[in-house]
Structure 1
Amino acid sequence: MNEPTLDLPAFLPYQLSVAANRVSNRLARIYADRFDLTIPEWRVMAVLGRFPGLSAVEVAERTAMDKVRVSRAVSRLLSAGRLERRTDPEDRRRTELRLSEAGRAIYAEIVPLARRFERSVMAELAPEELAALRRALGKLLADG
């Protein structure tokens, strides 16, 4: 009796995960050394830089990270003075997160680095490959 097997290196979910991790780790080396940030910390800062005032749960939803990773990243960023937390005046049960002044300064430095990095990654692909990748990712991410 033949047991079913899985050719993991050819399995699309595995390929997507490995590709995402490799690209993310390449970018992480840029900001880890210079700003002492982990990947989850940068993702929290990136989403709060774009959408200030989110709760930790909302950050987890927008970053597709689990709540524990977000909680650890938020704790470290608060301790480092890169985030501020305050109670929502409209809903006292909700806590809002925002970049602190120090966090905004780091964010302002990383964004151009991240954009430059993105351009260098995109330059590895021919324009038609990049367009096809964007279309394919759009379809895969639309199911959310």
Structure 2
Amino acid sequence: MANHDDVLELETFLPYRLYHLADLVSREFARVYKDRLGLTRPEWRILSGLGQHGTMTATALGEQSSMHKTKVSRAVAELERRRWLTRAPDEKDRRIEHLTLTRAGLAAYRDMVPLAKAFEREMLGKLENSDQDGIVRLLGKLESAILE
């Protein structure tokens, strides 16, 4: 039998647990925007990024959402097909396009904001009040420590 120090138990390994939890929560929330708006995860991330920040480039959206440029490109194309966003070429660099939500895209975003906030409250509501503040604080600390 292998020494306990030679075995990595995925179920208790912090990086795996964080990934697994993020995936579970993301899939659960995906049901909300899929049912309501028929969006994929990448489409939702593009919609929410533009709704939050206004005009952005595809590159900036990819960085913000940690998505590969191919996924960003497909999601942008689909939202454009739905007439939820428009593209405007950069005046100085024609290779860059500035993406902005249309009126319909902004309406979809505004429709989702209260649902997203309610989902977050429901997730946090599964914890004691003191744990709710603690998890938000600890996630921030961990992110900051990694980014330093």
TM-score (norm 2): 0.89
Match of 2:60 in 1: 58
Q: Distance in 2 between matches of 1:79 and 1:113?
A: 24
Give the alignment partner of residue 113 of structure 2, picking from 87, 106, 111. Answer: 111
Cα RMSD between the aligned structures? 1.7
> Cα deviations across residues 88-143 of structure 1 (Å, max 9, x unaligned)?
23433321111112111100100011111111111111121112211211022223
Structure 2 residue identity aligned to 1:76: E
Q: Distance in 1 between matches of 2:92 and 2:12?
A: 50
| Long gaps (5+) in structure 1 | none
Match of 1:19 in 2: 21
Structure 1 runs (4+) deviating above 4 angstroms are none
Q: Distance in 2 between matches of 1:5 and 1:96?
A: 49
Q: Distance in 1 between matches of 2:117 and 2:8?
A: 37
TM-score (norm 1): 0.91
| 1:61-76 matches, cutoff 5 A | 61-76=63-78
Structure 1 residue identity aligned to 2:71: R
- Tell me the secondary structure at the aligned position of residue 56 of structure 2: coil
Aligned length: 144
Q: Distance in 1 between matches of 2:29 and 2:73?
A: 22
